[in-house]
Each structure stands twice: as structure tokens, then as C-alpha cells.
Amino acid sequence: MLYSLKKLRLSRYEQDAMRNAGRFNAQLLDYLRPWIKAGVTTGEIDRLVYEYTRDHGHVPAPLGYQGYPKSCCTSVNEVICHGIPGDYELRDGDIVNVDVTTKVDGWHGDQSETFLIGEVSEEARGVTQCAFDCLHLAIQAIKPWSRIAEIGDAIVAEATRRGFSVVEDYIGHGLGREFHQKPNVPHVPTRQARAERLEPGVCFTIEPMINGGTKESVLDRTDGWTVRTRDGRVSAQFEHTILMGEEHPEVLTVTKLGPQPGFRF
């Protein structure tokens, strides 16, 4: 049985509002880019996110969301996602995913990149490259009326070929006036994902999380947010906001200064 996402289709006005939100979010990530380096704390990155966003009249969507205490997520090394910015000082050899989401006139833009800090290990570079390539392979794999599972098919095939694993516990999601909404976008093929199609006008994220070792994750019970790899090996992630157009998917969060498809880390 196929399930329709018709009620999630955005009007032309709403699509333009999402484009505007995605454009600012990409601008924010480009603003942060020079600051993400050794010697800078994750808390300083968070402060820059907050100040830049508020100075432009917008809202950092993570701040206060379900009790989350900061304006962005900074996930270092073995942290898969939802790392809370704080006193940790980035150092040579780290990789860090910076995930930013902005609410612009009531609409959300959402994306993330993984940054290499200085000289990193072969595994860290390989996982980062794989996550980046998996994101773009997944975008290339879909078109109007594709089954959502085609995203997971593309990601799993590439990660497996390179000897890495795909996180299953955390997924992409619909996006619009709500930070998280339908459809669910798993990065592995599931039965439900094979039953849903990406109709024109539907907006969603693709955000594969790729691990160097096991796909299994552990939630930090102390802060209730930070998710780490169970085996302590590195994890990397890239994310874009996608609008399914009438003819092809449109990436709403393209940066001017960040890595583009085909980039080699």
C-alpha cells in the first residue's frame, strides 16, 4: 500500500518562505566557517550562532526546543549528533559536526556540516568523505514520486562499499513551520519508507550519520541529549534541507563557501 503525503505539500508562497529560511541558514553556516578551528570552544561557536541569528531578526530554532539548552549542536569525534556546546576546545585531529537550524518568519532552514580540524586520522577523513558523498548520492537518487526508501538504498550501498555503517536510530524529517514533522526520512530502507512517496511540494531533510565502526549508539543519560557511538569510534554527518520540485529535488541550504558535490576532503 502506498501512503500519500499530499497534505504536506507547500504552496508557492510557502515554498518561497522555505527558500528564504534555507538561504539565511546557509549564510549563517558560511559566517561560522572561519571560526571553526583549533583553539575555539564549542561554546564560542554557539555564541556566534545566537548573536548572528538574533542580529538578523531571526530565531535559533534549537534554543529551548524540548528543553535543549543551546542555539546549535556541536558533535565532536565519537558524538553522532546533538552534542551540546560548552567548554570543549577544538584541537588538531578533531572532527566536529556543526548543526544549525534557523526560524525565519515562522519557517525553518536546517543543515549541518562536518569540519576537519587540522590533520585528522585516515578513518576520520574517510568517514567524513563518506557522509558527504552519501548525502549527495541520496539527493541524486530521488525525483518526484520517488519512494522515500530510495534515499536509504543509496546511502547504505555507498557506506557498505566503503566499510562503514549507517546510524538507524536517528533520521531525517519533514520541515516547514514545524522543526520536525512528517515525513520521516530514514537513512536505511524500511518498510514504511517503501510505502511513502516524495510528492512535489514536500520539504524534508536528508542527514546521513556514518560511523567508523558499529551503527549502534548510546544516549548520554547525564545531559539527555548527546548521542555517541557505542564503540567510541568516530562519526560524521552532513545535512541539507530539500524541497521536492515538479521535476527534481531542490536543495534549499546551498552555501557559497562550503564544499559542493564532488569535493574531496
Q: Which CATH number belongs to the domain containing residue 229 in this structure?
A: 3.90.230.10
With 60 as the cut, is the pLDDT of residue 3 above it?
no
- Is 38 inside a domain boundary? yes
Q: What confidence category does residue 6 fall into, taking pLDDT thresholds of 50, 70 and 90?
A: low
The fraction of the chain above a pLDDT of 70, given in percent, is 98
Number of domains in the chain: 1
Task: Provide the residue range defining the domain that includes 241.
Answer: 6-251
- Is 240 inside a domain boundary? yes
- Is 70 inside a domain boundary? yes
With 60 as the cut, is the pLDDT of residue 248 above it?
yes
Helix (H, G, I), strand (E, B) or coil at 42: helix
Q: Are strands 227-229 and 209-211 parallel, antiparallel or unpaired?
A: unpaired
Phi, psi of 194 (to 5 degrees): -80, -15
How confident is the model over 87-96, as a mean pLDDT?
Answer: 98
CB 74 within 8 A of CB 45: yes
pLDDT at position 15 is 98
- Is 265 inside a domain boundary? no
The fraction of the chain above a pLDDT of 90, given in percent, is 97
Helical residues (DSSP H) of 92-216, grouped into ranges: 122-141, 149-161, 191-195
With 80 as the cut, is the pLDDT of residue 214 above it?
yes
- Is 262 inside a domain boundary? no
What rounded mean pLDDT belongs to the chain?
97
DSSP 47-87: HHHHHHHHHTT-EETTTTGGG--SSSEEEETTEEE-PPPSS
Q: What confidence category does residue 1 fall into, taking pLDDT thresholds of 50, 70 and 90?
A: very low
- Is 264 inside a domain boundary? no
- Is 230 inside a domain boundary? yes
How confident is the model over 25-35, as a mean pLDDT?
Answer: 98
- Each residue's pLDDT tens digit, 190-202: 999 999 999 999 9
pLDDT at position 242 is 98
How confident is the model over 254-263, as a mean pLDDT?
Answer: 98
With 60 as the cut, is the pLDDT of residue 211 above it?
yes
- Each residue's pLDDT tens digit, 102-134: 999 999 999 999 999 999 999 999 999 999 999
In angstroms, how far is the first alpha carbon of the chain from the final one?
A: 42
Find residue 184's DSSP bridge partners: 173
- Is 1 inside a domain boundary? no
pLDDT at position 4 is 55
